[in-house]
Amino acid sequence: MTSEPQQPSTHGQKPVLSGPGQDSEFLTTTQGAEVNDTDHSLKAGERGPTLLQDHHLREKIMHFDHERIPERVVHARGAGAHGTFTSYGNAGKLCRADFLKPGRQTRVFVRFSTVVGSRGSMDTARDTRGFATKFYTNEGIFDLVGNNIPVFFIQDGIKFPDLVHAAKPHPDTEIPQAQSAHDTFWDFVSLHTPAQAHVMWQMSDRAIPRSLRMMEGFGVHTFRMVNEEGASSLVKFHWKPKLGVHSLAWEESQLAAGADPDFHRRDLAEAIDAGAYPEWELGVQIFPDDGTAVFEGIDLLDPTKFVPEELAPVQPLGKMVLDRNPENYFAQTEQVAFHPGHLVPGIDISDDPLLQARLFSYLDTQLTRLGGPNFAQIPINSPDSPVNDMFRDGFHQHRVPKGIAPYKPNSLDGGCPYMSQVLSGQQPPLDFPQPVASGKKVRSEPASFSDHYSQARLFYISLSAVERAHVQQAYSFELGKCTDTAIRQRQVECLAKIDTQLASGVAQALGLPAPAAVQLDDPVASPALSQIGKAWPVDG
């Protein structure tokens, strides 16, 4: 039995691309040995069986068989872009983070996403959009993992699996909520009424953006910022798109879903290719850190609440420009791992119970999604600043650490800057004056979390007549897909607690009796909302 090369050697052919894994002049195995035929497997005779000894065949098929990794459990469909954040340098009184200092330019990677659809779903589905930004700062990675809606469905992370199970495709048919029965989604949100404010935004045109370039972004939770003197403030992050906020009409979103399911990712990539670089301003609403975490009656630890900009104007801190498309979708957009706990000195979390659960969830899911504990070494996840974590080994370890003493205290590896600081008696600077936490262990929520309707109403009444009509049509259409009359009725009763006319209009469209009138508090009549334009300490 002989095997002869069927093809001339590839040796000497110039590669089209170069880079890691593409740096040989000719085709090789993963071990760097030249491959002279990648078109035919080795067989016992031209028409005979394939031989197990064909290593190139086995290696090529083995690698292909494992190309797919699990998609994200939520936010599976995304589009990314590289860019730069330029600080305005006016945050000195607010925050000591280096990337906010005057003149700082920081590399960023942004991933926009839908929440519920799978990786192959359409871009223009009615859904919340993720807006996650990785800042590769001099002091380590800062991730701002936000959405395009400033409020969330739930107030406690322990409800997240329930929410996602209710919103994902039906477990028996795997038919997405957006195209079939909506029973589980409406069942959940009409029973778990903290979701009503988020759902109101979802039924508005905000949930069908015209372009990813035309969306606002929100950090949603309240964070803390601390300045050089150790003084802290509470903040909410905002991204404001230079192009303004624009949406599709519902009919356009449906047509685009059929004609071009990649509508948003194509628009983003083409705009960047054409030099029409999208821009956003990063800003913060600032609240005093007086120990109450309440501002004008709004509980800042409740992620179902936003603070109207009339009460706390957004103060711009810098500008982000996205000017480079990913070089490789999988290596960058798919493998990027955001985490709300990736923070830099000067920025810290609050006690928002949703945020606290997120801090656990992202690391946990990424351990599975990215195959072990070393995913911070994947190029898109690696900080630009030096790393010295004393972590060792594990799947997909790419570092070759030097030294013999990855532990502390040690007296052997004195070369490491942190260690030498410790050895010389110098302590690294303390990050923050931390608030004291104490209390009886409970499984309950504060009374201030119990208002589930006024913020939905606040948003609804801020809309124009056309936008309100769209909201009514969206509720009527989406609830119309719910096959269970009792669930529809229950959701209409929730709407009656938000706006009587809206509830009646939706009830009529669904052929349901008009809901009983409910006495509503008017959020606009609140004295807090009449105070406009409070300025907090950002330099002029």
CB nearer ligand HEM, residue 146 or residue 326:
146
Do 518 and 488 meet the contact criterion of CB atoms below 8 Å apart? no
3-state helix, strand, coil in the chain (%, to 5): 30, 15, 55
CB nearer ligand HEM, residue 365 or residue 397:
365
Give me the least distance between CB of 195 and ligand HEM, in Å please. 12
Pick left, alpha or beta for residue 346 (phi over 0 → left; psi -120 to 50 → alpha; otherwise beta): left
CB nearer ligand HEM, residue 85 or residue 338:
338
Q: Going along 102-182, which residue ranges are E strands?
A: 105-114, 129-137, 140-147
Specify which residues 324 forms β-bridges with. 82
Which residues are within 8 A (CB) of 89 and not within 5 positions of it... i.e. 6 or more apart? 100, 101, 102, 103, 104, 539
CB nearer ligand HEM, residue 337 or residue 492:
337
Do 138 and 98 meet the contact criterion of CB atoms below 8 Å apart? yes
To the query of whether residue 75 is one of the catalytic residues in this protein, the response is yes
Residue nearest to ligand HEM (CB): 130
CB nearer ligand HEM, residue 88 or residue 239:
239
> What type of residue is 88?
Y
Give me the least distance between CB of 370 and ligand HEM, in Å please. 8
CB nearer ligand HEM, residue 108 or residue 492:
108
312, two tokens: 């706390």
Give me the least distance between CB of 289 and ligand HEM, in Å please. 20
CB nearer ligand HEM, residue 338 or residue 460:
338
Question: DSSP of 49-96, one letter per residue?
Answer: PBPTT-HHHHHHHHHHHT---PPPSSS-SEEEEEEEEEE-S--TTT--
Give me the least distance between CB of 333 and ligand HEM, in Å please. 8
Specify which residues 349 forms β-bridges with. 223
Q: Is the dihedral of CA 38, 43, 45, 48 positive or negative?
A: negative
Do 138 and 384 meet the contact criterion of CB atoms below 8 Å apart? yes
Do 514 and 493 meet the contact criterion of CB atoms below 8 Å apart? no
Cα–Cα distance measured from residue 34 to residue 52, given in angstroms and rounded to the nearest whole number: 19
Q: What angle do CA 16, 19, 22 make, to 5 degrees?
A: 60
To the query of whether residue 147 is one of the catalytic residues in this protein, the response is yes
73, two tokens: 């459990």
Give me the least distance between CB of 310 and ligand HEM, in Å please. 23
Residue with tokens 């910022």: 225
521, two tokens: 């508090």
Is the bond leading into 409 cis (omega within 30 degrees of zero)?
A: yes
Give me the least distance between CB of 71 and ligand HEM, in Å please. 8
Do 290 and 239 meet the contact criterion of CB atoms below 8 Å apart? no
Give me the least distance between CB of 40 and ligand HEM, in Å please. 40
CB nearer ligand HEM, residue 284 or residue 354:
354
- Which chain residues interact with ligand HEM by CB under 6 A? 72-75, 78, 111, 113, 130, 132, 145-147, 152, 157, 160, 220-221, 303, 336-338, 354, 357-358, 361-362, 365-366, 369
Q: What angle do CA 343, 160, 448 make, to 5 degrees?
A: 80
CB nearer ligand HEM, residue 145 or residue 510:
145
Q: What angle do CA 319, 325, 326 make, to 5 degrees?
A: 115
Q: Is the dihedral of CA 215, 219, 220, 222 positive or negative?
A: negative
Of the residues 147, 148, 325, 381, which is catalytic?
Answer: 147
Give me the least distance between CB of 75 and ligand HEM, in Å please. 3
Give me the least distance between CB of 427 and ligand HEM, in Å please. 34
181, two tokens: 């029965």
Q: Going along 289-337, which residue ranges are E strands?
A: 294-295, 298-299, 315-324
CB nearer ligand HEM, residue 70 or residue 428:
70
Of the residues 56, 75, 182, 470, which is catalytic?
Answer: 75
User: For the chain, what is the radius of gyration of the CA atoms?
Assistant: 27
Q: Going along 248-354, which residue ranges are E strands?
A: 279-288, 294-295, 298-299, 315-324, 347-349
Give me the least distance between CB of 151 and ligand HEM, in Å please. 8
* Active site members: 75, 147
